[in-house]
């Protein structure tokens, strides 16, 4: 079979994943359809040994930091199973890989002036530095300012930097995938759930005859609840707005930033491991989006003043009661 004939039948699935335990059965069912799975993570020590069963999963997980350890552990067991079936498992996330290299460089007493700005390391360094600066400014304003408009401005500035970082990550990842995609008849590319820019970048680089499809890990849940495949918090929507329109300055950015301040106070962020609900995170995120989305800008200002010092559960109850009174 020629490469052209191979590509004419090839299939690329971009799997937008919620890194929660509740999503894993759906991800597993989809991944099993593909001969190659590309993970959204940089190469990590011990990965191949873990896949071959030469290293225990728990020992492997100790070698790197994972934001959702319960998900990571079960996914490792799934990946080992698929490796035993003969599937190829790859780790491809060049931005994060470059960032790890920078951390190692500075740990070895390297200096910023030794990083050439035109290199990939230099580009990543400048992007990450700008992103971190906006994040730290948001934290400072959040901790010191009582003026809601200042918080909204800080949220928008960070979201714009987050969008810039996301575009760079997606461009770098698509560039790394360009040489991988032609090798396989069908390939599953894992991606975080707001990396929509990656779809455009892959489409521009994929073999011409290859088919590109998208999959959302919780699409069955949200389609049943809302009639669409995915739901996003207001902060994610704001980041995507700046992803496609970096210079946008209209009123929609203000209301999204205001609602994101409410959403981030009421949504459950820690990994839920108890199986008291089949879809605990998705149910919680849906409720938080609906509550925050029902408030206008001035209501967000008033509500945030009430809940900014509260714990997540208490803040959720307070907002729920506020919205209930509003609807009466």
What DSSP string runs through 98-159?
HHHHHHHHHHTT--GGGS-TTSHHHHHHHHHHHHHHHHHHHHHHHHH---HHHHHHHHHHHH
Tokens matching residue 192: 């975080």
The answer to whether the beta carbons of residues 266 and 292 sit under 8 Å apart is yes
Reply yes or no on domain 3-92+180-226 having CATH 3.40.50: no
**What's the pLDDT at 306?**
94
Residue 135 has pLDDT above 70, yes or no: yes
Domain boundaries, the chain: 3-92+180-226, 116-163+232-327
CA neighbor of 263 nearest in space, from 224, 229, 303, 226: 303
Tokens matching residue 114: 């030794």
Instruction: Return d(Cα 267, Cα 281) in angstroms, integer.
Output: 9
**What's the pLDDT at 155?**
98
Residue range 192-214: mean pLDDT, rounded: 95
Top pLDDT among 143 and 83 is at 83
Instruction: Return d(Cα 191, Cα 3) in angstroms, integer.
Output: 26
Tokens matching residue 101: 């290299």
- pLDDT tens-place string over residues 273-308: 766 678 999 999 999 999 999 999 999 999 999 999
Instruction: Return d(Cα 129, Cα 149) in angstroms, integer.
Output: 25
φ and ψ at 56, to 5 degrees? Answer: -65, 145
**What's the pLDDT at 4?**
46
Place of tokens 């496609």: 244
Instruction: Return d(Cα 157, Cα 53) in angstroms, integer.
Output: 46
Q: How confident is the model at residue 133 (pLDDT cuts 50, 70, 90)?
A: very high
- pLDDT tens-place string over residues 24-50: 999 999 999 999 999 999 999 999 999
**What's the pLDDT at 120?**
96
Tokens matching residue 78: 């799934």
Q: How confident is the model at residue 7 (pLDDT cuts 50, 70, 90)?
A: low
Query: What length is written for the chain?
Result: 328
Query: What is the widest separation between alpha-carbon atoms in the chain?
Result: 68
- pLDDT tens-place string over residues 209-231: 899 999 999 999 999 999 999 99
Q: How confident is the model at residue 64 (pLDDT cuts 50, 70, 90)?
A: confident
**What's the pLDDT at 3?**
42
What is the DSSP-derived secondary structure letter of residue 181? Answer: G
The pLDDT > 70 percentage for the chain reads 96
Instruction: Return d(Cα 178, Cα 171) in angstroms, integer.
Output: 11
- pLDDT tens-place string over residues 251-275: 999 999 999 999 999 999 988 876 6
Least confident of 2-16, 189-203, 276-290: 2-16
Residue 1 has pLDDT above 60, yes or no: no
**What's the pLDDT at 326?**
79
Tokens matching residue 39: 């993970």
**Residue 61 host element (H or E):** helix 57-61
Global pTM reads: 0.92
Instruction: Please report, in angstroms and rounded to a whole number, the separation of the first and last CA atoms in the chain.
Output: 68
The 3-state DSSP class for residue 225 equals: helix
């Amino acid at each position: 079979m020629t490469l052209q004939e191979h590509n004419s039948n090839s299939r690329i699935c971009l799997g937008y994943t919620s890194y929660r335990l509740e999503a894993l059965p759906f991800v597993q069912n989809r991944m099993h359809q593909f001969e190659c799975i590309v993970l959204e993570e940089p190469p990590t020590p011990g990965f191949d040994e873990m896949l071959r069963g030469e290293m225990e999963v728990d020992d492997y997980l100790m070698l790197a930091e994972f934001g959702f350890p319960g998900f990571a552990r079960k996914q490792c067991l799934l990946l080992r199973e698929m490796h035993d079936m003969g599937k190829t498992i790859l780790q491809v996330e060049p931005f994060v890989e470059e960032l790890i290299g920078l951390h190692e460089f500075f740990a070895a007493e390297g200096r910023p002036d030794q990083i050439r700005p035109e290199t990939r390391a230099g580009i990543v360094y400048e992007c990450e530095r700008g992103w971190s600066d906006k994040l730290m400014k948001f934290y400072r304003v959040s901790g010191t300012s009582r003026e809601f408009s200042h918080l909204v401005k800080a949220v928008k500035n960070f979201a714009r930097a987050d969008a810039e970082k996301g575009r760079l990550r997606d461009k770098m990842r698509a560039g790394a995938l360009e040489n991988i995609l032609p090798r396989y008849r069908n390939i599953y590319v894992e991606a975080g759930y707001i990396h929509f820019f990656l779809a455009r970048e892959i489409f521009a680089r994929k073999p011409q005859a290859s088919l590109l499809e998208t999959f959302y890990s919780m699409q069955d849940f949200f389609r049943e609840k809302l009639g669409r495949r995915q739901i996003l918090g207001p902060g994610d929507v704001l980041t995507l707005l700046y992803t496609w329109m970096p210079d946008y300055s209209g009123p929609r950015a203000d209301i999204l930033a205001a609602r994101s301040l409410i959403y981030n106070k009421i949504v459950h962020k820690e990994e839920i491991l108890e199986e008291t609900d089949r879809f605990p995170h998705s149910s919680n995120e849906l409720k938080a989006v609906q509550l925050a989305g029902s408030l206008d800008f001035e209501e967000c200002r008033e509500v945030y003043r009430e809940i900014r010092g509260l714990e997540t559960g208490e803040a959720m109850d307070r907002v729920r009661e506020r919205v209930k009174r509003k609807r009466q």
